[in-house]
Every structure is written in C-alpha cells, then in structure tokens.
C-alpha cells in the first residue's frame, strides 16, 4: 500500500489530474503533442490565453490566419484573434501602445521601431520568420509598352525620357522599400536622387497605379498578380530573384510582451510554426489556404489572385509564364522560420546604406536584442521542428555581392550607390 494520500472524487488534486488528463487527451486527439496538458497543470501555462495578432491583407499572413482557423492554437493553450489592419504605420502604433499583442509585420519595421527610426522608439522582439520569398516589383503597363519591362529597360527609359518617376513601397524602413531600392540601385538608378519614392498601404497599390499615381511599386502578393489580372501592371522582377529565400514578414511583438508573457509567446510561435508546416504540406492545403484567406475578413480578393503564385505558377503580364521553385514558402521543412541574426542585421545595413540611420549600430548586438532565438528553439522543440546550428546564414544577392553577416560595416559601406 502506498503511504501517499489518494485523491478523493472532489479533492483539488483529483480535479487537477482530471483537467490535466483531459487537456493531454485533447492535445493527443488534435495531433499527438499533448502540450496543452503540461501547460494546463504546470508553470508553462500561457500567461495570456487570448492573443490579438494584427495582420495586413497579404498572402503571407496565411500561417497566422490558418493557426486560428484550423484550431492549431488551441492545442497550445492559446486563442489567436487575427485582427485586420489598414496600414503598416497602424500596425506599428497598435503594437507600441499595446492594442495588439503581436503582428504579422515587416522585418524592417520592427528594427526601425527598436532604433527609433520608424516612429516612436520601443524595444521590440522578433519571435519567428513567417515566410520566405513571394514579393515582387510591378511596373505600369504604360512603362512596359515603352520597353521598361526589367531593371535595364527601366534605366534606359529613365535616361532617355526625362521626367519625375514615382515608385511606391509600403513602409520607409520595411522590406519592400529595401527590395525596391536594392533593385533600382543594381541598375544604376539612385532611388533617392533619380526617382520619387512614396509610401502606400499594400491593398491600395493597384488602385493607385490605376489612376496613375505611380510608375511602379514593390509589394507582397496578391497585389502584383492582381495588377496583371486588372491589365494595369507587369511583373518586372520577383524578390526571390533578388535574393533567393530572403526573409520577409515576421511575427513581431514588443520586448515587454515577451518579458511578461514568455509562455504565451512560445505557445503562439509553436502554433504558427505548425500552421506553416500544414500550408506547405501539399497542393490541397495550399488551395484550402487560398480559399480561406481570400475571404473578405482577410485579404478580400478573388481566390485566383492568390492560388497561382503560391504554387509557383507565374506570369509577367506580357505573355511569359514560368514555374518558380522559389515561390512563397511558410515552412519548407523548417528552413523558413528560424530568426537568423544575419537576416535582421541585413536590414540594418540597408538602413545605414540609405541614410535611415546615420552611424553604424552594433549590428550583432541589436540583432541579439531583437531576435528571440532561444525562445524560438523552445517553440520549435514543442512543434517538433529542427533548428539550424548557426545564427548566421550566407546568400549571394542579385548584384553578385555575398551577405553572410560577418562584416556588416564593410558590407554596408561597400555599395557604390548609397545615400
């Protein structure tokens, strides 16, 4: 006989055992992780169970939305409430003032807020990378008709037909601004001196091009494909052609939120990791995702504006079609989601290049402050996702320059065209 007291039918110990067992069973039924049980009964319980996550109507919000729609969040003891936002400055403000707990957000926006170059200064955190690839630069049909269908053609037209050329990005320190500037500069066009650059929210890009407010724009899908469908733009380049498997949107929050709610941050990261894995698992899942996020509550467009490019089926609006193996990916066997320090540092090098920051920051130190690599590893373990050995990775960009994060000062200063 054991000398330990046995739980009676109404004892707190028995009720705790029942709750833990039920939660573990629910976790097992949902996919065999059983993490909800451990968190319900122990100190790993999410501190906040309902989490408001802002998103902009773009294809790459999909893993956040699907984590909620599929109920994956509940396996980890949280409820994700996706909150549709109108613009990136709006997302920034609501993150900073606490109206949003987290957001599907531009990598460079998070870094800009942390350094105070993108509005109010606040310590920020990147929990995970949400996607690789899948953005593009669109030029107006009017420019394309004059031969500007790629960077070289645009440079030639701008040199021969002098006027003010206007290009749009989505946020001054964001990813799309950096892709646009990098692409223009690779063709010898100085984005600050040879052109006018404006900021336009992603869902308003197509409407603004339709009325002639810009000659080109850089934005996420589905708005590049939408411009082709509407007959007003052509795809000049995809961002994966600028940098294959580039970082893009992240799951961002404030450092304060992570400090107060580490278990919640871990749980949400694990849930969204699993949702990304579900999306990338096969054709039917991608089509189901496209059907889901096309809804008015999310991206608010037709399914056919989304479902081609997520499968890598591209057209440029001028008769060329191709299958792109480097299309938008949400998981890619876990390669997408690790918050590499070198990814965050790259945006800082470009902010320095274009005069958004005046002095060289402590590139690695800032990245270590923001990118929550230790918390990500815990979330990845919970979701049974492998992680890389190194916090840095190496890539060759479209101009042949290699970025590996090892000498950011030399890299940032090494560009011929800069502010």
DSSP class of residue 344 equals H
154 with 236: CB under 8 angstroms? yes
240-288, pLDDT tens digit by residue? 999 999 999 999 999 999 999 999 999 999 999 999 999 999 999 999 9
Q: Tell me, what's the pLDDT at 1?
A: 34
Better pLDDT: 5 or 259: 259
pLDDT band at 345 (very low <50, low <70, confident <90, very high): very high
Query: Mean pLDDT for the chain?
Result: 91
What is the distance of C-alpha 245 from the center of its chain? Answer: 12
The confidence score (pLDDT) of residue 19 equals 35
C-alpha 59/C-alpha 291 separation (Å) is 11
Dist. CA 129–CA 175, nearest whole Å: 13
Q: Provide mean pLDDT across the span 319-347.
A: 98
Average pLDDT, stretch 149-163? 98
Alpha-carbon gap, residue 53 to 269, rounded angstroms: 12
Res 179 pLDDT > 60: yes
CATH C-level class of 141-242: alpha beta
What is the pairing mode between strands 196-199 and 166-169?
parallel
Rounded to two decimals, what is the model's pTM?
Answer: 0.90
**Which ranges of 81-237 would DSSP assign to H, the alpha helix?**
88-97, 107-115, 141-145, 151-160, 175-186, 205-210, 223-229
Structure tokens at 109: 């926006």
In contact, 118 and 161? CB cutoff 8 Å: no
Give the Cα separation of 156 and 91 in Å (integer).
38
pLDDT at residue 3 tops 90: no
Backbone angles phi, psi at 325, to 5 degrees: -70, -15
Token readout for 280 is: 């990338």
Pick the range with the lowest mean pLDDT from 21-35, 176-190, 312-326, 400-414: 21-35
Task: Report whether 87 contacts 94 (CB < 8 A).
Answer: no
Asked whether residue 386 carries a pLDDT value surpassing 90, the answer given is yes
* Alpha carbons 202 and 361: distance in angstroms, whole number: 30
Please state, for a pLDDT cut of 70, what percent of the chain lies above it. 90
As a whole number, mean pLDDT of residues 176-204 equals 98
- SS3 at position 145: helix
Q: Whose CA is closest to 232, among 252, 249, 208, 196?
A: 208
Buried b (16+ CB within 10 A) or exposed e, 327-350: bbbbbbebebbbbbbbbbbbbbbb
50-133+247-338+358-390 maps to which CATH number? 3.40.190.10
CA distance 180 to 202: 14
Other CB atoms within 10 A of residue 50 CB: 12
CA pair distance 178, 101, nearest whole angstrom: 26
More confident of the two residues 14 and 330: 330
CA separation (Å) from 79 to 154, 202, 253, 268, 312? Answer: 47, 27, 16, 9, 32
Question: Is the model's pLDDT at 327 over the cut of 90?
Answer: yes
pLDDT confidence bin for 52, thresholds 50/70/90: very high
Name the pLDDT band for 43 (thresholds 50, 70, 90). Answer: confident
Give the pLDDT confidence of 356-378 residue by residue, as tens digits. Answer: 999 999 999 999 999 999 999 99
Query: How do residues 7-41 score in pLDDT, each as one tens digit?
Result: 333 333 333 333 333 333 333 333 333 333 334 43
| Residue 285 exposure: Cα atoms within 13 Å on the Cβ side | 18
pLDDT reported for residue 42 = 54
Token pair of 319 as six digits: 């008769």
For residue 353, the SS3 value is helix
How many angstroms separate the CA atoms of 256 and 203, rounded?
A: 30
**Start and end residues for every CATH 3.40.190.10 domain found in the chain:** 50-133+247-338+358-390, 141-242
Asked whether residue 316 carries a pLDDT value surpassing 70, the answer given is yes
Averaged pLDDT for residues 47-70: 98
* Token pair of 181 as six digits: 């500037």
- Cβ–Cβ under 8 Å, residues 387 and 143: no
Phi, psi of 251, deg, nearest 5: -90, 105
> Which residues share a beta bridge with 197?
167
Q: What is the pLDDT of residue 174?
A: 98
DSSP state of 281: T
pLDDT higher than threshold 60 for residue 300: yes
């Amino acid at each position: 006989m054991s000398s330990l007291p046995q739980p009676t039918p109404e004892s707190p110990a028995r009720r705790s055992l029942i709750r833990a067992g039920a939660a573990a069973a629910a976790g097992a039924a949902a996919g065999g992780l059983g993490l909800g049980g451990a968190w319900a009964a122990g100190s790993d319980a999410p501190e906040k169970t309902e989490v408001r996550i802002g998103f902009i109507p773009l294809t790459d919000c999909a893993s956040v939305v699907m984590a909620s729609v599929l109920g994956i969040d509940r396996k980890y003891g949280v409820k994700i409430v996706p909150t549709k936002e109108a613009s990136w400055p709006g997302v920034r403000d609501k993150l900073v003032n606490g109206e949003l707990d987290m957001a599907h957000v531009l990598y460079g926006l998070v870094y800009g807020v942390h350094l105070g170059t993108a509005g109010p200064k606040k310590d920020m955190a990147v929990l995970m990378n949400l996607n690789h690839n899948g953005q593009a630069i669109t030029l107006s049909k009017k420019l394309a008709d004059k031969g500007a269908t790629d960077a070289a053609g645009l440079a030639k037209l701008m040199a021969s037909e002098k006027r003010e050329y206007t290009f749009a990005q989505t946020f001054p320190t964001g990813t799309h601004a950096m892709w646009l500037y990098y692409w223009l500069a690779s063709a010898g066009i100085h984005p600050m001196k040879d052109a006018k650059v404006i900021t336009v929210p992603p869902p308003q890009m197509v409407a603004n091009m339709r009325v002639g407010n810009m000659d080109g724009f850089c934005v996420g899908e589905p708005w590049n494909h939408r411009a082709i469908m509407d007959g007003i733009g052509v795809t000049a380049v995809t961002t994966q052609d600028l940098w294959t498997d580039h970082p893009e949107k992240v799951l961002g929050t404030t450092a304060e939120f992570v400090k107060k709610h580490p278990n919640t941050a871990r749980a949400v990261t694990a849930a969204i990791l699993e949702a990304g894995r579900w999306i990338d698992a096969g054709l039917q899942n991608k089509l189901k995702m496209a059907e889901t996020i096309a809804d008015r509550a999310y991206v608010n467009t037709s399914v056919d504006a989304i479902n081609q490019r997520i499968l890598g089926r591209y057209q440029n609006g001028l008769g060329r079609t191709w299958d792109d193996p480097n299309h938008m990916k949400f998981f890619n066997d876990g390669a997408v989601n690790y918050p590499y320090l070198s990814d965050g540092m790259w945006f800082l090098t470009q902010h320095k290049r274009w005069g958004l920051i005046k002095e060289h920051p402590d590139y690695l130190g800032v990245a270590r402050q923001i990118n929550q690599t230790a918390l990500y590893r815990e979330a990845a373990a919970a979701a049974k996702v492998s992680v890389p050995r190194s916090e840095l990775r190496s890539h060759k960009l479209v101009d042949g320059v290699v970025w590996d994060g090892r000498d950011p000062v030399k890299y940032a200063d090494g560009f011929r065209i800069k502010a």
